[in-house]
Amino acid sequence: MSVTPLQALPLDQLRERTSAKWRTYPDEVLPLFVAETDFPLAPAITRALADAVRLGDTGYTGPDPGLRAAYAGFARRRFGWSPDPARMRSTCDVMMGIVEVLRGVLDPGDRVIVTPPVYPPFYDGIPEAGGVVERAPLRDTGEGWELDLDGIDAALAGGARAVLLCNPHNPTGTVHSRETLAELAAIAARHGAVVLSDEIHAPLTQPEATFTPFLSVSEEAARVGFALVSASKAFNLAGLKCALMVASSEEHAAVLRAMPAEVEWRTGHFGALASVAAFAPESDAWLDALLAALDENRRLLAELLAEHVPGARYRIPDAGFLAWIDLSALGWGENPARRIRREARVALHHGPMFGDEGTGHVRLNFGCSPEVLREAVARIGALVRS
């Protein structure tokens, strides 16, 4: 059965928003940089927040807002995985969860592997937790990207203590296979290491790809892993501040329980209310409509780049609303986003922020209307022709 794609809000209405996407640059700049989307909220979320405002329900987050059970139900329906709510704990956002888990499992100075090009806050969160970043870049297969398992194995053999995994991967949109994740778990188990899997983009996996929760792939993964999850990317709730840290083993659940109470107090009350509504079955149809819209846009972007920016190299992502685009052939320097914003008036995320592998690249957010996407790429194309 076909799904009607969700429609983005009009640009004039979006410019009434006061979030980072709409207040960082002046109105003449099309903002396709930060990971916010341009769609209306899921109706269940709107109702939950409106009811809370009507009641003045703006206090501290309650001891059990239903968040853990709601996520367990969502994971069961969407991923075929049944995590134990008793082995979860909430906090402010995924990056805070990563930092707190790392604090619980690292000694100061321990090395943590990242797989660049990768989400820039990883490079800051690891030192915040007392660790040191070690790079094991993704492998470019010519058709896509994959984890360099040999490189990760070598880094762990050399003394690294943890792997910070991005699954699905930001910025490439790669959904790591079950086989790859199982091998990663076996490698980590062999070296006595820990894997933290950031799965914030998981709900945005397209139907023809299969997202596999890391903790579900094997007994070894359940033993070595933690998952960090949130409704914030799929349902555009970043400002409401809510995420979950998930363990499968009793040993790792004890790490979560040992965290200071303040870690959980940082969970936003509105974030918890909105996330429960997002994870509820009644929001599934909205999410399916969003996925249909993003599917159209990811394919449209390929057509637009071929027409207007023929030197661009872009692979259609398996998940998310972020496009990783190599503009090296245009000769616009190490960070082409600067020239694009200055001369084309389109704001994109700076490729070098994702690591050395981002030289000459940009990250483009296509979680917008097709009209905005067409205008943005046409502006970049005009810069090419000039």
Residue 127 CB partners (closer than 8 Å, separation 6+): 133
- What pLDDT is attached to residue 213? 98
pLDDT digit string (tens) for the chain, length 386 residues: 689 999 999 999 999 999 999 999 999 999 999 999 999 999 999 999 999 999 999 999 999 999 999 999 999 999 999 999 999 999 999 999 999 999 999 999 999 999 999 999 999 999 999 999 999 999 999 999 999 999 999 999 999 999 999 999 999 999 999 999 999 999 999 999 999 999 999 999 999 999 999 999 999 999 999 999 999 999 999 999 999 999 999 999 999 999 999 999 999 999 999 999 999 999 999 999 999 999 999 999 999 999 999 999 999 999 999 999 999 999 999 999 999 999 999 999 999 999 999 999 999 999 999 999 999 999 999 999 98
Phi-psi region of 362 (alpha: psi -120 to 50; beta: other; left: phi over 0): beta
Q: How large is the angle between the packed helices 178-191 and 149-157, nearest 10 degrees?
A: 10
Q: How many CA atoms lie within 13 Å of 373's alpha carbon, on the beta-carbon side?
A: 25
Where are any strands of DSSP class E within 169-239? 194-198, 225-229
Residue 280 CB partners (closer than 8 Å, separation 6+): 44, 70, 73, 74
- What pLDDT is attached to residue 386? 85
Report, in this order, helix, strand and coil percent for the chain, each rounded to 5: 45, 15, 40
| CA gap 386, 380 in Å, rounded | 10
- What pLDDT is attached to residue 1? 67
Q: How would you classify the pairing of strands 313-314 and 322-326? A: antiparallel
Q: How large is the angle between the packed helices 284-308 and 370-385, nearest 10 degrees?
A: 20
Q: How many CA atoms lie within 13 Å of 151's alpha carbon, on the beta-carbon side?
A: 14
What is the arrangement of strands in the sheet containing 243-247, beginning at the earlier edge strand? 88-91, 243-247, 225-229, 194-198, 162-166, 111-114, 132-135
Residue 73, Cβ density class (10 Å: 0-12 exposed, 13-18 middle, ≥19 buried): middle
Q: Which helix (H) or strand (E) holds 188?
A: helix 178-191
- What pLDDT is attached to residue 2? 86
